[in-house]
Amino acid sequence: MDSFDYIIVGGGSAGSVLANRLSEDPSNSVLLLEAGGEDRSPLIKVPAALIKLIGNPAYDWGFQVEPDPSRSGRQDYWPAGKVLGGSSSINGMLYVRGAARDFDGWRDQGNEGWGFDECEPYFRKLERCTFPTGQERGAMGPQAISHLRTRHPLAYPFVDAAQASGLPHNKDYNAASQEGVSAPQLTQLKGARFSAADAYLKPARRRSNLEIRTKAQVTRIEWEGPRASGVRYEHRGKAHTAHAKGEVILAAGALQSPKLLMLSGIGPADDLKSHGIEVTLDNPHVGANLLEHPNAQLGFCVDQRTFNQEINSARVAWHALRWLTARRGPATSPYPHAVGFYRSTPDKPFPDIQLLFGPFGFELTPDGVAPSLKPMVTLVLGLSYARSSGRLTLTSGDWRDKPRIALEMLSDARDVADLIAACRTARAMMEHEPMAGHIKGEMTPGDEVQSDADWEAYLRRTVDPTYHPVSTCRMAPSIAKGVVAPNLKVHGVESLRVVDASVFPDHISGNTNGAVLMVAEKASDMILSNKG
């Protein structure tokens, strides 16, 4: 049986950080187990190729959500990275810290040490901003953060129109305040994706005290009384056991970490017993409080070619060559070419909407969603602090079965009202010059949607998840309120931590990958300093 000081389950964003930081001390032996494969595919490096990664079972877990009664029974597909780098290898690359008040809110829920003042040094520690910044941003960290190398021409009149509508220009939404409209910041380097595996794993792989095993699916945690003593995993068709002299650290993500806890006997006792699982610890919070950012979309026809047309044209080969030779052009592009944070209504105390402007348009076809043949731009509006929540449970006691994910995304009427107000504000932005002169018509939802009832019907038909699941192993000061303590140790057992988006006590404003990296940096210090 293999024996290591630390066993990390999951080679995604958090697992990559942990593997690097824990193995910096040559006296620590570290095993990283990743169920997916290596991140060598060129598709991972080309930013625009993310459409080839999402839905591809070689790189994506491909979770299905239960039909949602709050959205006419729609059943969503939720991607999650199944490869070294995890979702940072297949996501849209937008880097967002979150608002300072988000982390102060974590602290105010009783999680000492997680206020923004305590978290901010770890953001700076991880960041390598490749553009000029102030003192509040990092420039020497492992994670490269860049601006787009090729920005669509319509991004500039959109930013001007947003300002004309009253939204201030914000040079850096990851600095003092999120509010305003900005150029996007991306986990890219010189026009190529720069994942957490690029930032943290690749520099550490040559260390003799770090072992990385891919295609290694952890099936359960092993116990010696209340202590997590190791893990059982499948590798190359055989069952293996690895022993942890120090700790087992789950970094499998907000959908996989709670599943593994439940398969190992930590979760709602009655549910575990119904699947024939021996109960190690009854905790109904495991898998509960599933939070997500719902998003609405507005699409407009415009007067010049957009990137969806480039995808559908004979120019694809030219764009591929341009990326290979110069790392420029549409192939460098994820979705957003402008980012905004604004208040859905003026009485909101802070921004509650994240806006993404993309030079892309999509249409619903008999085969699903496909790039439009028309020149289009789309606004995506994400509700940062949705009140609706869901739950993740086991489908069975078999580790091979995916979990059951249930979320009524628009079950709270306040979320619907906020999205309606946000849509009205976004539509008004597009009526300002200089953007208005480029608009040839609103495609979705269309001019016929005007009343609150019209908007609600549209939203319940079309709102999508943003693929930001959090809080399924939420951090709380006691087992009565959550799954892990502020030191990220699992309540009620020993030598077991969770370090990923599942521990977020609540929403953050914006994309979650940046905050996951921060949490893992902070957790690494906790583990190495033995503060826990």
Q: Residue 150: which residues within 8 A CB-CB, separation 6 or more? A: 191, 328, 329, 330, 332, 333
- Element (DSSP H or E) covering residue 425: helix 413-429
**Beta-strand pair 238-250/496-498:** parallel
Residue 531, Cβ density class (10 Å: 0-12 exposed, 13-18 middle, ≥19 buried)? exposed
pTM: 0.97
* Closest alpha carbon to 234 in 210, 252, 213: 213
C-alpha–C-alpha distance, residues 55 and 62, integer Å: 6
Calpha distance 9→252 (Å, rounded): 6
Q: What is the pLDDT of residue 369?
A: 59
> How many CB atoms sit inside 10 A of residue 134's CB?
10
CB 17 within 8 A of CB 224: no
What 3 state SS string does 430-477 have?
Answer: CCCCCCHHHEEEEEECCCCCCCHHHHHHHHHHHCEECCCCECCCCECC
pLDDT score for 532: 45
Distance of alpha carbon 3 from alpha carbon 142, whole angstroms:
29
CA 18 – CA 497 distance, rounded (Å): 12
Task: Enumerate residues 6+ apart whose C-beta is below 8 A from 398.
Answer: none
How many Cα neighbours within 13 Å face the side chain of 393? 16
Query: What is the rounded CA–CA span in Å between residue 114 and residue 98?
Result: 13
> Cα 506–187–183 angle (5° rounding)?
85
Q: Is the Cβ–Cβ distance between 352 and 343 less than 8 Å?
A: yes
pLDDT tens for the chain, 532 residues long, are 699 999 999 999 999 999 999 999 999 999 999 999 999 999 999 999 998 899 999 999 999 999 999 999 999 999 999 999 999 999 999 999 999 999 999 999 999 999 999 999 999 999 999 999 999 999 999 999 999 999 999 999 999 999 999 999 999 999 999 999 999 999 999 999 999 999 999 999 999 999 999 999 999 999 999 999 999 999 999 999 999 999 999 999 999 999 999 999 999 999 999 999 999 999 999 999 999 999 999 999 999 999 988 877 778 888 888 999 999 999 999 889 999 999 999 999 999 999 999 999 876 555 555 778 899 999 999 999 999 999 999 999 999 999 999 999 999 999 999 999 999 999 999 999 999 999 999 999 999 999 999 999 999 999 999 999 999 999 999 999 999 999 999 999 999 999 999 999 999 999 999 999 999 999 999 999 974 4
Long-range contacts of the stretch 482-485 (C-beta < 8 A, 24+): 482/285, 483/258, 483/261, 483/283, 483/285, 483/286, 485/532
Active site residues: 468
Whether residue 131 contacts residue 147, with contact meaning beta carbons closer than 8 Å, is answered with: yes
- CA-to-CA distance for 310 and 201, rounded, in angstroms? 34
